[in-house]
């Protein structure tokens, strides 16, 4: 629970009155503690995922993550939700040994890719200027933007999934070239990472690893 202070900031009850909790120095617009836990603080990466994930949930997931910002609204990420046993079997040979079993057992595995020709859709996605012309030319000049913004959208996917009550297991341990051949053949879409989706069992988690402190990872200039 979070209590509003007179200056508009919020603090948790564990924080002495009048002192803003450095963990949650928030404005009155901030989400509540339970939501922040769900999205960040207690959310974990799961190896064992079960349960059901409906197609409607996958559509709701996309309809949330699509609102995350990308440069020039380019939205380069492309998603393949690998759900059927047949599709899982197609994916299997591309997976690293350590990621295979848990991926085959998860209700859904999403392949997050990015379209190197994302700029073709800019006349629709960013109509007020000729943004397509910024990216016209050799494809290799678009790789950095496609990868950067596609990675952001992959992160939005993880947070959107958590916000819908799903657990996630992102992985980069697979053969990208094989996945591209299996799922993106004949296109300019390249795989970035894959992510299992489902419902995790907290009792099966190993202890959480630490994170860098603010002073180790950041500075204010
Ligand atoms: C892009 C990405 C790639 C990852 N690749 C793998 C992987 O191939 N295999 C694996 O077991 N875990 C993988 N992980 C899981 C991370 O090790 C895990 O998210 C991290 O240790 C944090 O764990 P926590 O969320 O439980 O604190 C990956 C995570 C991300 C975001």
User: How would you write the pLDDT of the chain (221 residues) with one tens digit per residue?
Assistant: 444 444 444 444 444 443 445 455 667 789 999 999 999 999 999 999 999 999 999 999 999 999 999 999 999 999 999 999 999 999 999 999 999 999 999 999 999 999 999 999 999 999 999 999 999 999 999 999 999 999 999 999 999 999 999 999 999 999 999 999 999 999 999 999 999 999 999 999 999 999 999 999 999 99
With a 6 A CB cut-off, is 208 part of the ligand 1 pocket?
Answer: yes
Largest distance between two CA atoms of the chain: 62
pTM equals 0.90
Closest C-alpha residue for ligand 1 atom 3:
171
Q: Which fold has domain 49-204?
A: NADH Oxidase (3.40.109)
With a 6 A CB cut-off, is 211 part of the ligand 1 pocket?
Answer: no
Give 160 Cα–ligand 1 centroid separation in angstroms: 17
Q: Give how far the C-alpha of residue 66 lies from the chain's centroid of Cα atoms, to the nearest Å.
A: 11
Give ∠ CA 163-34-36 in degrees, rounded to 5: 60
Closest C-alpha residue for ligand 1 atom 22:
45
With a 6 A CB cut-off, is 209 part of the ligand 1 pocket?
Answer: yes
With a 6 A CB cut-off, is 44 part of the ligand 1 pocket?
Answer: yes
With a 6 A CB cut-off, is 203 part of the ligand 1 pocket?
Answer: no
What is the spatial distance between Cα 163 and Cα 157, in angstroms, rounded to a whole number?
Answer: 10
With a 6 A CB cut-off, is 193 part of the ligand 1 pocket?
Answer: yes
Residue 142: helix, strand or coil by DSSP? helix
If one residue of 40, 48, 155, 171 were mutated to test the ligand 1 pocket, choosing by the most ligand atoms within 8 A of its CB, it would be 171
User: Residues 112, 171: contact at Cβ < 8 Å?
Assistant: no
CB-based burial of residue 215 (10 Å sphere; 0-12 exposed, 13-18 middle, 19+ buried)? Answer: exposed
Q: What are phi and psi of 167, to 5 degrees?
A: -105, 160
Q: Give how far the C-alpha of residue 38 lies from the chain's centroid of Cα atoms, to the nearest Å.
A: 14
Residues of the chain with CATH 3.40.109.10: 49-204
């Amino acid at each position: 629970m979070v209590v509003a202070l007179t200056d508009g900031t919020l603090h948790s009850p564990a924080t002495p009155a009048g002192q803003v909790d450095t963990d949650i120095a928030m404005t009155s617009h901030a989400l509540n503690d339970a939501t922040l836990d769900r999205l960040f603080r207690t959310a974990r990466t799961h190896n064992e995922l079960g349960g059901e994930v409906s197609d409607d949930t996958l559509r709701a997931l996309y309809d949330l993550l699509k609102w995350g910002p990308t440069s020039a609204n380019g939205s380069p990420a492309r998603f393949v939700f690998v759900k059927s046993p047949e599709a899982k079997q197609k994916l299997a040979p591309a997976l690293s040994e350590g990621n295979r079993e848990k991926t085959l057992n998860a209700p859904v595995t999403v392949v997050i890719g990015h379209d190197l020709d994302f700029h073709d859709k800019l006349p629709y996605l960013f109509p007020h200027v000729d943004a397509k012309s910024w990216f016209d030319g050799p494809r290799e000049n678009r790789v950095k933007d496609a990868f950067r913004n596609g990675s952001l959208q992959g992160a939005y996917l993880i947070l959107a999934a958590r916000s819908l009550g799903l657990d996630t297991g992102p992985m980069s341990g697979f053969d990208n070239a094989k996945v591209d051949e299996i799922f993106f053949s004949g296109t300019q879409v390249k795989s970035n990472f894959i992510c299992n989706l489902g419902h995790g069992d907290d009792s099966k988690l190993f202890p959480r690893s630490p994170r860098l402190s603010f002073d180790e990872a950041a500075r204010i200039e």
